[in-house]
Amino acid sequence: MLHRALALFLPAVVGLALSSTAEAAPKKKYYFELAAVTAKPEVSADVAKSATSRVETQVKKAWAAHPQLVVLEGQPDWRTQTEPYRKFLRKKGVAGAYLVTVELTEATEEVLPMPDKPNTQRIVVRVALHMLGENIPTKTMGFTGDGQATIKVEVGKKIRDADREYAWAQAAEAAVNDAMATVFKQLAVPPKKQ
């Protein structure tokens, strides 16, 4: 009877140990370098300047907080020292380095009246963006990620700068996080063997 209980118990313990080990496996680390944040010509020029700086702020904030992204210091210049740069990445345990360009594909703001609330308006901010990551140092295609967000904020009859800034920051943050989720899904897929 004891042998039968052990025969049932041991496989369960081994299975549990293996599954917890697989879940606890460390995630790969990456390095992202921001090349630029730009806006498509379709984004109106008066919105593009402030929207790109807001998105850039949110990109840097998201990267600083992401557990799989590392900050590198003392690395060789990847543009002129390709092999030493690769060795540096391996030594630091970095699975990949990417030069990332972020392009705003949409950035709009509307102020809409709210008929059921006469002393209230709604700011509607839409942000859509495209991230493109090129492998460093080879400058080959690494990943893409698209993100978008629409934020609606109820305000009074007078719109304060803080209301507008809040709506834009929330929209930019949500769009960046949406794109980052796509990027890390792509990075999690093992590369195809050639």
pTM of the predicted structure, to 2 decimals: 0.82
Asked if residue 84 is part of any domain, the answer here is yes
Domain encompassing residue 92: 27-188
How many domains does the chain divide into? 1
Contact 164, 126 (CB under 8 A): no
Q: pLDDT by residue (tens digit) across 100-155? A: 999 999 999 999 988 888 889 999 999 999 999 999 999 999 999 999 999 999 99
Instruction: Give per-residue burial for 47-60: e unless 16+ CB within 10 Å, then b.
Output: bbeebbebbbebbe
Asked if residue 101 is part of any domain, the answer here is yes
Please give the Cα distance from 106 to 41 (Å, whole number).
Answer: 10
Asked if residue 136 is part of any domain, the answer here is yes
**pLDDT value of residue 118:** 84
Kindly report the CATH number assigned to the domain that includes residue 79: 3.30.160.150
Please give the Cα distance from 87 to 157 (Å, whole number).
Answer: 59
Predicted confidence pLDDT, tens digits, the chain (194 residues)? 544 444 444 444 445 444 444 455 568 999 999 999 999 999 999 899 889 999 999 999 999 999 999 999 999 999 999 999 999 999 999 999 999 999 999 999 999 988 888 889 999 999 999 999 999 999 999 999 999 999 999 998 898 999 999 999 999 999 999 999 999 999 998 777 65
Asked if residue 17 is part of any domain, the answer here is no
Asked if residue 171 is part of any domain, the answer here is yes
Please give the Cα distance from 170 to 51 (Å, whole number).
Answer: 12
Asked if residue 73 is part of any domain, the answer here is yes
Asked if residue 194 is part of any domain, the answer here is no
Asked if residue 146 is part of any domain, the answer here is yes
